[in-house]
Every structure is written in C-alpha cells, then in structure tokens.
A and B are shown apart, each in its own frame.
Chain A
C-alpha cells in the first residue's frame, strides 16, 4: 500500500515537473524560429518546416495513436456513446475459450532474438508476466518500449521529449550540442541520452540503463549493457520513429523495435493520470493482453 501511495505521489510530482519543464522550455527565448509552416498541408506531403539553425522543426504534440487506433467510439443520440463492443455479437474475449487460457502472452511478430542461454529466462518471465512485467505494475516502460515522444520541445542544443504514458508522465532531456554522455548519473530505465543530426534525421543515443524495464512484451528483459539508438525524422506533418536496442550480454543481435508514425496535432497534452494497479490480485489465471507498445 505504501509503495502504491508513493507511486501515486511520485506520479503527481513527476507530472508537475514535466509540465513545468515544458512551460519553461517553451517560453525560452533561445528557441529558434520556425521558418515555414506545414500546418495546412496533408500529413506526409508538406515541406518540412525548419528552425533558424537549419534543422527540421520537431516542436509540437505528436499523436501516435496510443495503441488504440482500433477504438472508434460511436456517438449516438441523446449523448449516448458506444466506446467498445458496438454492434458486435457477444463472445468470449481472446484466450478464454474452453476455460484454458494460455499462460503468459501469445507469440509476438517482432520479438528480440536472445542468446540461447537466456531463452529459458524469457520463457519463465513470459509465463509470469502478470507478476513481473514492470508496466503491469505502473513502473516505467523504459526504452524503447515507451515509443515515440508525445510532445517535443526543441531549441538550439537541446531537445526535450515528453511522454504521457499509461504508467504516468515521463521526460527525457536530449542535449544536441555535441556533449558526451554523462558519466556521473545512476543507471535508469530511460538511460542517459545525447542527440545529433544526420542530415534531417535526429539520432538519439541512450545508454546507462538499469535492468528494471523490458524491451517489449512477453518477458523481453534486458541487461544493464543495453544501448538504444532512435532515429526520428519529420516528413510533412508526420514523425517517423525507429529504434534499435543492442544488448550483447543477452541478445544474439540488435533488435529493431516496431517503427511508429505519429501525426502532428493541435491537441496538447494534459496532466497524466496517476497509475495505480488495483487488478492483479483478482486475476485468476495467467491471461494478459498483448502489450507490445
């Protein structure tokens, strides 16, 4: 209980911190000016606006669908709303037929390739996902599982990524002024990030991770040797995000996370909701939804 309370409080403080940073950086006089506008052009076709330093303007809020693109609420008469199950025939949710739900998750299409000596550990973690998956307990998803940022605040020499995650609000500060990684920070789930430009692509390299997050669903653990390289490119009013995780201690080869495309939106973020798990003690079998992010 105390741990939950701590997480809620921390989440609230973090949310305020994130918003504070966003406001402070947004108001910064050092922000290069945007030199073109693509606001009225179709996503993906408009010319890429640039800041006065010549780099693409990544500022803004970016809607990556939040993993719920398939949810299309129906607004009905008299204020009624069908959020899900609209017009669908009744039937058991996946994995529940014949009373024999699968333990752990279903096979994933894009899953890291592990060194042979770690395969049993992955299988064990997968079987015990409800108990051990950090995000099911409202902890940080880490990189690259957290996916593309929901908001970017960009100025010369520094870019801030803001995340409105189901586990809470997170931020990353990415220096782009050529400085090296800090060597005096504790390992963390989001690591230490530095960025540089390769043409019009922002390349962010992160290291100094702890081993407390997973790369993706289904037991995809990593070690503290993890490094992650993200490549972010603006194409019109879309943001293309790619990430490669390299962990030679446990992975047989670098793993390419599923690429994501986010669309620029004028709908700004709101304070993230607290994440408080109230369910897991009531789950009577090992079923869980796929949670690849």
Chain B
C-alpha cells in the first residue's frame, strides 16, 4: 500500500513538541477546539476517502432517540495508508463505536475532528493524544 504523496503531502501533517498533530492544510486548532472533547456513540455510515483530509460520517442517536450524523475530519490519505488503515477498516463492519472528537470552533453542529474511535469489539484507532 503506497504511502507516497509526491512532495506534496506537504508536510501534510506536522507534530508539535507536545506530540500533537497539526494538519496539512491548516492547523487542527484553527478549525477545532482542542481543549474540548465530545464523546459520541454511533455507527460509521460513510467514509470520504479523499485528500487533503479523510472524513468519516457517524450516525448517532441522542438521549431522546433522535438521529444525527456527525462529520469527523481526520488525517490525509497517505498517513492513513502508512498506518495500514483503509476505508473498510474505518467502517468497522457496521459495529457500534465510541468516538472522542474535538468540536468545531465555529459552532457548526455535528462537525468535529476524530481523536479516537473504539469499536464494539474493543479495537481502536487513535489520531491524537488521549486526555
């Protein structure tokens, strides 16, 4: 599986001294509130396998039973491939998943940055430091 990107993935991702990920494109903190976390329980219903950032869509049912779909940004394709992860693996066979995410700073509802996703069978993928 190729992880190359031409020179381009540009330093698609940069890591700060604290070990945090800063995206290609723009810093994570420029779009998402890295001081806050939201926890979601739902099912990954769609993966947009695209650059400069992959997005996963998560169908979430709230306490009242209402359904909403969160759109969560994550790393670029080259980085996901380097980790050996694929669209199918992110979909997780339709398992329920628990997700930590940074919410959008501009207040856009149901938009966030994927920090960690843990599937019902216990395995997880992590994209930024745990709390």
Contacts and interface: CB of A to CB of B under 8 A. Distances in A.
Interface string B37-54: 000000000001111110
Contacts of A61: 2, 4
Interface in A132-158: 135-136, 138, 141, 145-150
Given A92-B20, A278-B53, A286 B130 contact: no
A166 B83 contact: no
A165 B30 contact: no
6 contacts: A66-B8, A70-B15, A85-B127, A150-B5, A273-B77, A287-B29
Contacts of A64: 4, 6-7
B88 interface: no
Contacts of A170: 6
B44 to A, nearest CB: 15
B34 A96 contact: yes
Interface in B104-131: 104-106, 108, 111, 115, 121-131
B67 interface: no
A283 B12 contact: no
A165 B84 contact: no
B78 interface: yes
Contacts of A86: 19, 126, 129
Contacts of A167: 8, 51
A291 interface: yes
Interface of chain B, helix or strand or loop or mixed? loop
Contacts of B77: 166, 273
B45 to A, nearest CB: 17
Most B Cβ at <10 Å: residue of A63, A81, A163, A170: A81
Nearest to A276: B50
B31 A284 contact: yes
A95 B11 contact: no
A83 B80 contact: yes
B7 A141 contact: yes
Contacts of B2: 61, 150, 164, 267-270
A278 to B, nearest CB: 7
Interface in A266-293: 267-270, 273-280, 282-293
Contacts of B78: 66, 68, 166
Interface string A247-266: 00000000000001000000
B25 A71 contact: no
Nearest to B105: A284
A136 to B, nearest CB: 6
Interface size class for chain A?
35 or more
A70 B22 CA distance: 12
B101 interface: no
Given A284-B106, A288-B26, A66 B55 contact: no
Given A273-B49, A275-B52, A95 B27 contact: yes
Interface-centre pick from A70, A217, A273 (highest chain B CB count, 10 A): A273
Given A138-B52, A280-B26, A80 B7 contact: no
Nearest to A163: B6
Question: What 4 A-B pairs are tightest by C-beta distance, nearest first?
Answer: A147-B7, A88-B19, A91-B18, A85-B129
Contact of B8 (A63, A89, A166): A166
Given A66-B5, A141-B7, 13 more contacts: A61-B4, A66-B3, A68-B79, A84-B127, A92-B35, A96-B27, A273-B50, A276-B48, A276-B50, A279-B25, A279-B31, A288-B25, A293-B8
A93 interface: yes
B107 to A, nearest CB: 9
